[in-house]
Amino acid sequence: PTERTFAMIKPDGVRRGLTAEILRRIELKGYRTVGLKLYQIPRETAESHYGEHSAKPFFGELVDFITSGPVVAIALEGENAIAGWRSMMGATNPANAAPGTIRGDFATSVGENVTHGSDSPESAQRELALFFAEGELLK
């Protein structure tokens, strides 16, 4: 099915100058970008985005990190875009991420792993609504 997913370049990716490289990979893959913005995440939005991890020991660290600088918020559209973007990112733990994936090529830390992608249609819908207002997404 044609899907929309929420992709994000995390603060470490922006700080390290990986934005253009990651957008280049998305364009070459052929996804349609239907939303794009540089965004400083408010703390409350970060806590909501990571709500499912609120009981984890690393929750505070996660929220501190994701609000530590601007992110690039991206709405992608394409055939099986949810799984496809996760496959382009590689495994969450960069130690397990294959070469050729974004994390395999650019990350070493499970916390600072450069990108995010929604893991299901329900997460995609929730995260897109959290990061983009209706009028910010292309039809």
Task: Indicate the SS3 state at residue 138.
Answer: coil
Closer to ligand CMP at the Cβ: 44 or 58?
Answer: 58
Q: Is 53 assigned a catalytic role?
A: no
Q: How far is the CB of 60 from ligand CMP (least distance, A)?
A: 10
The response to whether 5 counts as a known ligand-binding position is no
9 versus 36: smaller Cβ distance to ligand CMP: 9
Is 126 known to sit in a ligand binding site? no
Buried b (16+ CB within 10 A) or exposed e, 7-22: bbbbbbbbeeebbeeb
Query: Of 44 and 61, which has the nearer Cβ to ligand CMP?
Result: 61
The residue from 35, 116, 128, 132 that is catalytic is 116
Given a contact cutoff of 8 angstroms between Cβ atoms, the answer to whether 65 and 112 are in contact is: yes
Q: 132: annotated binding-site residue?
A: no
Place of tokens 């450069």: 114
Distance CA(116)–CA(112), nearest Å, equals 10
> What's the closest the beta carbon of residue 114 comes to ligand CMP, in angstroms?
9
How far is 58 from 74, CA to CA, in rounded Å?
A: 25
The answer to whether the annotation marks 86 as part of a ligand binding site is yes
Binding site for ligand CMP (CB under 6 A): 53, 58, 61-62, 92, 110-111, 113, 116
DSSP H helices in 51-115? 59-66, 81-89, 102-106
Q: Active-site residues: which are they?
A: 116
Binding site for ATP: what residues are annotated? 10, 58, 86, 92, 103, 113
